[in-house]
Amino acid sequence: MYDIPAPMLAKSVPTVPAADRVEGGLSYEPKWDGFRALVAWDGTEVEIGSRGSKPLTRYFPELVDAFSRLLPEPCLLDGEIVVAVGEPGAQRLDWPALSQRIHPAASRVTMLSETTPAMFIAFDLLARGDALLHDEPFRVRRAHLEDLLAGVPHPVHLTRTTGDADLAARWLEEFEGAGLDGVVAKPLALPYAPGKRTMFKIKHARTADVVAVGYRVHKSGRGVGSLLVGLYGPDGVIRNVGGVAAWSDARRLELVEELAPLVERDDEGDAVVGETDRSRFSSSKDVSFVRLRPERVLEVRYDQLEGDRFRHTVQFERWRPDRDARSCTYEQLEAVASYDLGDVLD
């Protein structure tokens, strides 16, 4: 079995970089919104490793079966595991359906592998047979990957690429409608660099005015760890839409004092504590938070919406004392045009 390395990473840049930004040029590809996975197939066994070193093999039996049947020779692939929903012609990636696959019960994993089967999008090749390709430039690894997967059917897919920065910029706008996460630019001349941010990622950057609805205490026990934010729905009810973190140690302590006048208190004067919904990723974590009266508005940066919540942790931009909390509604958010996932995979 191949040794599974840490995956190569990407650093954020605000716009699609020109192809001549780095020596040797760039290759552009869609940024898939799923579980990063390195797949080792030695001709007998399949092992699926994750970005966080968490083995994923047991959670995707349908992919283990597909790899062992469809891959033409032993190899070490880098790619993304995704789940699609919707009818042909109107499909898109579905993060909630994918996240449900991480479940301790084998019976549920089996059931979900049948009702919401995953697919694998390959975008790099680290080994092929006895040949290790880590030190080869990406243009060579990509050529090997195209040859290896030529004719391999669903659920294994080869991500598309282009050398045209203008087309990549168009993908950035269009493919979001299919649930994708942005665009990645890869230096064609560089070897595979485990754990290094040698690629570039471009994601959507948007802002929204939201209401502070609570905060979690930092894991140290002192100060604000994350600030929970909300938006008003069409029914006039405020909904938790995500959280803001990454405060400095000094700022965490300052925020406790600043937010103290907004803390909801019971008849005995104690702070009211609520709980956010648990997920498979937070089942062992403290999900309690101190409730705040929904009065203070802040502007945040976000990349995309998943259902009625921000897909990722949002970034603090500034306080908005000029905004009324009731004006912070979903209507301010940019609507994304639908795009069929099948047109991305072709």
Peptide bond into 155 cis (omega under 30): yes
| 201 a catalytic residue | no
CB neighbours of residue 80 within 10 Å: 23
3-state helix, strand, coil in the chain (%, to 5): 25, 35, 40
CB neighbours of residue 97 within 10 Å: 16
Place of tokens 């290896």: 148
List Cβ neighbours of 103 (8 Å cut-off, separation of 6 or more): 59, 109, 112, 280
Q: Are the CB atoms for 220 and 248 separated by under 8 Å?
A: no
Catalytic residue among 31, 196, 219, 285: 31
φ, ψ of residue 61 in degrees (nearest 5): -60, -30
Q: How far apart are CA 18 and CA 165, in angstroms?
A: 6
As annotated, the active-site residues are: 31
